[in-house]
Amino acid sequence: MAFLRAWRRLRPCAALLDAVAPETCALCDLAYDPRTWCSRGSRAPGLRLWDEPHLCRPCAARLDTGPFTGRVGRVGRDSRSLTVWAATATSAELTRALGAWKYRGVRGLAWPLGALLAAGLARLAPTTEPCRLVPVPLHGSRRRDRGFNQSEVLALLVARAGGPAVRTDLLRRVRATAQQASLDDPAARAANLGGAFAVVDRRDGELPREMPLVLVDDVVTSGATVLAAAAALRAAGRPVAGVLALAAARAGVAGGRVDRAVTPA
């Protein structure tokens, strides 16, 4: 935290603060060191003044898993299927970083994760046409509990890094659903999302009907969530080009498959 860091510079406060609130890397427990620490990025809603990345640079580099630089695949079947652009492979480090961000409130991890997604967008170049990013919404109750929507924060950070503009006003989660991660069965995952999303019909003419939309989610596992979100948008006449995610399961369920690794040119 920023004010703690300022106090830390005033010895002997540092020793006392380290005892009560040690600042360490969220992945390797390395103590804070300005020379090897991830820096903050631009602020987005969902990030507070005192948030810090809490991540050392070697761990941030490990999130982007070496020569494996991204994957493109599809989830769903036939006309309802969706292309998935995943910035990186799933890894134990990424799972831990996402867990710390979403469930343990280490909000500043959004910066390195947002940078990872922005790099994925640049490398995978999902569409050459103008498009809009649509983060997968959380239900109001879950958003209140967590304090932010991880997909929205990621999308906003990607937009600030030069990506397409974000629309958070097109899609709503109208039904609170069980956490997808708690359901193993593909059929249960799909059923859990029935009627979960609704499209806000905007008649202001601000967004052309033909503008392609790219959904943004943190991780695509079975694809059930993004397929349900895309189905709602498509039913309202909005074209969905695919999904941009930090990572996607190599072999999803519910017909999902991520099958082509992409290496940079």
Helix or strand (DSSP H, E) at 257 = strand 257-261
Cα-based angle 138, 48, 38 (whole degrees, multiple of 5):
100
Query: Which residues in 197-216 contact Zn ion (CB under 5 A)?
Result: none
In the complex, what is the shortest distance from the CB of residue 188 to Zn ion, in angstroms, rounded to a whole number?
36
63 lies in the site for Zn ion, by CB under 5 A: no
In the complex, what is the shortest distance from the CB of residue 178 to Zn ion, in angstroms, rounded to a whole number?
33
Q: How far apart are CA 138 and CA 67, in angstroms?
A: 33
Helix or strand (DSSP H, E) at 73 = strand 71-75
31 lies in the site for Zn ion, by CB under 5 A: no
One character per residue 127-146, x = contact with Zn ion (rule: CB under 5 A): --------------------
113 lies in the site for Zn ion, by CB under 5 A: no
Q: Which of 27, 216, 220, 249 binds Zn ion (CB under 5 A)?
A: 27
Beta bridge partners of 72: 85, 260
Please count the residues of this chain forming the interface with Zn ion, following the rule CB under 5 A: 6
DSSP letter (8 states) at residue 31:
B
Q: Which stretch binds Zn ion (CB under 5 A): 5-13, 59-67, 189-197, 205-213?
A: 59-67
Residue closer to Zn ion, measured from CB, 98 or 214: 98
25 lies in the site for Zn ion, by CB under 5 A: yes
In the complex, what is the shortest distance from the CB of residue 40 to Zn ion, in angstroms, rounded to a whole number?
16
94 lies in the site for Zn ion, by CB under 5 A: no
Beta bridge partners of 183: none
Residue closer to Zn ion, measured from CB, 108 or 135: 108
In the complex, what is the shortest distance from the CB of residue 109 to Zn ion, in angstroms, rounded to a whole number?
11
Q: Which stretch binds Zn ion (CB under 5 A): 20-28, 212-220, 224-232, 254-262?
A: 20-28
- Whether residue 135 is preceded by a cis peptide bond, meaning omega within 30 degrees of 0, is no
Say if residues 117 and 246 touch (Cβ distance below 8 Å).
Answer: yes
125 conformational bin, left if phi > 0, alpha if psi -120 to 50, beta if neither: left
Residue closer to Zn ion, measured from CB, 5 or 123: 5
- Surface-to-core class of residue 197, CB atoms within 10 Å of its CB (0-12 exposed, 13-18 middle, 19+ buried): buried
Q: Which of 2, 6, 13, 28 binds Zn ion (CB under 5 A)?
A: 28
Residue closer to Zn ion, measured from CB, 112 or 126: 112
Residue closer to Zn ion, measured from CB, 43 or 62: 62
Say if residues 232 and 41 touch (Cβ distance below 8 Å).
Answer: no
Q: What is the 3-state secondary structure (H, E, C) of 179-211?
A: CHHHCCCHHHHHHHCCCCEEECCCCCCCCCCCC
56 lies in the site for Zn ion, by CB under 5 A: yes
59 lies in the site for Zn ion, by CB under 5 A: yes
Q: List residues binding Zn ion (CB under 5 A).
A: 25, 27-28, 30, 56, 59
